[in-house]
A and B are shown apart, each in its own frame.
Chain A
């Protein structure tokens, strides 16, 4: 293994034996001793031939549907499960955050649980003692540390567990499995701050999540696991898109493949019309600009007796849709016949409600008969906004105020 690789997963396969009738009593061993050769279990594949390397300091995402094998993979990397084939090597100390508060005992006090949990993570009493105060402070539980854990609310327990794990775990490699799913907004903010910190500290992290926003924001690279195999590996952005594609109707899936799309410059759809070009009247908007103007050129390759429906979507850099509409919604559907080879020029006017940043525009065309996507252009173009009245929100429309006194 090269020196710069923190985690190397090499052709890992895992299957579980699911017995048809569980042989968990001695009796069943004796009742059918002659039947030993009969296969009494079913092999269920959890992972097939998984291979990837994670360089030191990388924030690596694993995404996939429920039951695709993500958690099994994480457990194999953590050393809890043994792979049937292949191997995993980890360089440096590894702390799994597969679940917070492992080994917490409700009958013990908060203080005792901190030491117990610390020991399970591999820290001596003396090592925990040094950091005890910062753990308590981070959890904001000063008054409760001598109470039994069973008298804690679940939120308090999570806070304690999280702070033990984060304050203590100065490890090189972290495995994080959906810990963000729990906790209130305040706690989630803390989690994200912690993420930013470990990213800054150049720790190697494996992060499993369904939250594509978080994957896009923190991960450098990600893999998509589907049906126990790695089906896509790429930047977190590409992988997040590929993940979203899993939930699309089958007809679009083929063209939605990130590799095919790369070849087609992000264009996909059933065909029949193509989006030729997209441009802006002004590519950089300032607060003074009232509107954003987007010009889209479309050429039809088929006859559409009912005309076409045109759509537009504007996303922020995290890939979150900010706004969008189509000609049917805004009652601008022409319904007149479109012939083969006809050129359609559209001009969209969007009020400038944007906050400062870079935004992505995606035009689309669909068939009014069944709303099938005829053409869609992912990441077709982007524009910038410089807004001196910038706010921490997703959009920044001009909000008026009149004060009477």
Chain B
């Protein structure tokens, strides 16, 4: 029994060492070879913000009704970009590390989790930039904004679940990356990233409800609600029964369990199938 515990510890020790090193390496490699290096991690969201601000606030004037619309917009884009990155990282996690798979025996889930953490680090940096803008923009900081932590955790779990599923599927079906690109493209428009949900509500309340049950939409809206403005439309505003809020959360957890089991079942064969 004691020996088993020691073995278990040893098993996770290796996974932990590996995870840490893979995330560090990934971070080091990200801007390797570019002149500005790590500065890009800050420059990219800044440039993005500038573009959004010019297009949406000056020319299109879409969200004039929403206070601090620029920050509102930026949060949506930053979170969506995270979702794209985490799922694309996940998709190629196993196949991209085929060389390692064929030569070493290690817990396969580590590379998928490492991909998710890399994206999470990037998200944290981006959120710091957002916080900076909130300061400049005059968006008030409240303690309520701390609720962003569980919401990001939910997004992380959702991204991880999809990453497990896609990475395992991609080993067998190489079309998955094209399919997933299309899904992301469609998802971008089906998620209220660039437009306020209030626009949808005026056309069809049902469509808005369905839209918000998508976990990414739910998370983006909830984060906007707690961080930027209470004018944000969330599940709580659209549904009378607050239990509906649990639906996307349940879906996220269910997906992680399903994807994790599928991954676990497929992973012994990765070395041969790649």
Binding site for B on A (CB under 8 A): 16, 23-27, 29, 75, 78-82, 96, 98-99, 102-103, 105, 107-108, 112, 115-116, 119-120, 122-125
Q: Are A82 and B102 in contact, with the CB atoms below 8 A?
A: no
Q: Are B99 and A119 in contact, with the CB atoms below 8 A?
A: no
Q: Are B29 and A108 in contact, with the CB atoms below 8 A?
A: yes
Q: Given that A81-B271, A81-B272, A82-B269 are contacting pairs, would A107 and B21 also be in contact in the complex, using a CB cutoff of 8 Å?
A: no
Instruction: State the CA gap A88–B221 with chains docked (Å).
Output: 52
**Interfacial chain A residues near B25, Cβ < 8 Å:** 105, 108, 112, 116
Q: Are A116 and B21 in contact, with the CB atoms below 8 A?
A: yes
User: Does B100 sit at the interface, judged by CB under 8 A?
Assistant: yes
Binding site for A on B (CB under 8 A): 13-14, 17-18, 20-22, 25, 28-29, 32-33, 99-106, 172-176, 179, 268-269, 271-272
Instruction: State the CA gap A116–B103 with chains docked (Å).
Output: 15
With CB as the reference atom, state the residue of chain A lying closest to B101.
Answer: A80
**Interfacial chain A residues near B269, Cβ < 8 Å:** 82
Q: Are B18 and A119 in contact, with the CB atoms below 8 A?
A: yes
Q: Given that A102-B99, A102-B100 are contacting pairs, would A120 and B105 also be in contact in the complex, using a CB cutoff of 8 Å?
A: no
Residue among A25, A29, A78, A124 making CB contact with B17, cutoff 8 Å: A124
Q: Given that A112-B28, A122-B17 are contacting pairs, would A82 and B268 also be in contact in the complex, using a CB cutoff of 8 Å?
A: yes
Q: Given that A16-B272, A75-B271, A108-B28 are contacting pairs, would A80 and B175 also be in contact in the complex, using a CB cutoff of 8 Å?
A: no
Q: Are A107 and B29 in contact, with the CB atoms below 8 A?
A: yes
Q: Would you list the 6 A-B pairs with minimal beta carbon distance, nearest first?
A: A79-B105, A119-B21, A82-B268, A102-B103, A122-B14, A26-B175
Q: Are A102 and B175 in contact, with the CB atoms below 8 A?
A: no
Q: How far is the CB of B270 from chain A (nearest CB, A)?
A: 9
Instruction: State the CA gap A115–B22 with chains docked (Å).
Output: 11
Q: Given that A116-B25, A123-B17 are contacting pairs, would A99 and B176 also be in contact in the complex, using a CB cutoff of 8 Å?
A: no
**Interfacial chain B residues near A116, Cβ < 8 Å:** 21, 25
Q: Are A98 and B272 in contact, with the CB atoms below 8 A?
A: no
Q: How far is the CB of A400 from chain B (nearest CB, A)?
A: 54
Other 12 A-B pairs with CB < 8 A, given A16-B272, A24-B174, A102-B103: A26-B176, A82-B268, A82-B269, A96-B103, A96-B104, A102-B99, A108-B29, A108-B32, A112-B25, A119-B21, A122-B18, A124-B17
Instruction: State the CA gap A26–B271 with chains docked (Å).
Output: 21
Q: How far is the CB of B264 from chain A (nearest CB, A)?
A: 13
Q: Are A99 and B103 in contact, with the CB atoms below 8 A?
A: yes
Q: Are A25 and B175 in contact, with the CB atoms below 8 A?
A: yes
With CB as the reference atom, state the residue of chain B lying closest to A120.
Answer: B104
Instruction: State the CA gap A267–B9 with chains docked (Å).
Output: 57
With CB as the reference atom, state the residue of chain A lying closest to B179.
Answer: A26
Q: List 25 A-B contacts (CB under 8 A).
A: A23-B172, A24-B172, A24-B173, A24-B174, A25-B174, A26-B175, A79-B105, A80-B101, A80-B102, A80-B103, A80-B271, A102-B99, A102-B100, A102-B103, A105-B25, A105-B29, A107-B29, A107-B32, A107-B33, A119-B20, A119-B21, A122-B13, A122-B14, A124-B17, A125-B21
Q: Are B103 and A25 in contact, with the CB atoms below 8 A?
A: no
Q: Are A96 and B21 in contact, with the CB atoms below 8 A?
A: no
Instruction: State the CA gap A254–B272 with chains docked (Å).
Output: 37
Instruction: State the CA gap A27–B269 with chains docked (Å).
Output: 22
Instruction: State the CA gap A99–B32 with chains docked (Å).
Output: 26
Q: How far is the CB of A233 from chain B (nearest CB, A)?
A: 26
Instruction: State the CA gap A115–B271 with chains docked (Å).
Output: 24
**Interfacial chain B residues near A78, Cβ < 8 Å:** 104-105
**Interfacial chain A residues near B173, Cβ < 8 Å:** 24-26, 29
Instruction: State the CA gap A124–B16 with chains docked (Å).
Output: 9
Residue among B21, B172, B174 making CB contact with A115, cutoff 8 Å: B21
Q: Are A120 and B106 in contact, with the CB atoms below 8 A?
A: yes
With CB as the reference atom, state the residue of chain B lying closest to A124.
Answer: B17
Q: How far is the CB of A88 from chain B (nearest CB, A)?
A: 11
**Interfacial chain B residues near A112, Cβ < 8 Å:** 25, 28
Q: Are B103 and A98 in contact, with the CB atoms below 8 A?
A: yes
Q: Are A96 and B18 in contact, with the CB atoms below 8 A?
A: no
Instruction: State the CA gap A47–B205 with chains docked (Å).
Output: 63
With CB as the reference atom, state the residue of chain A lying closest to B104.
Answer: A102
**Interfacial chain B residues near A81, Cβ < 8 Å:** 271-272
Instruction: State the CA gap A116–B17 with chains docked (Å).
Output: 10
With CB as the reference atom, state the residue of chain B lying closest to A25.
Answer: B175
Instruction: State the CA gap A23–B173 with chains docked (Å).
Output: 8
**Interfacial chain B residues near A80, Cβ < 8 Å:** 101-105, 271
Q: Are A120 and B18 in contact, with the CB atoms below 8 A?
A: yes
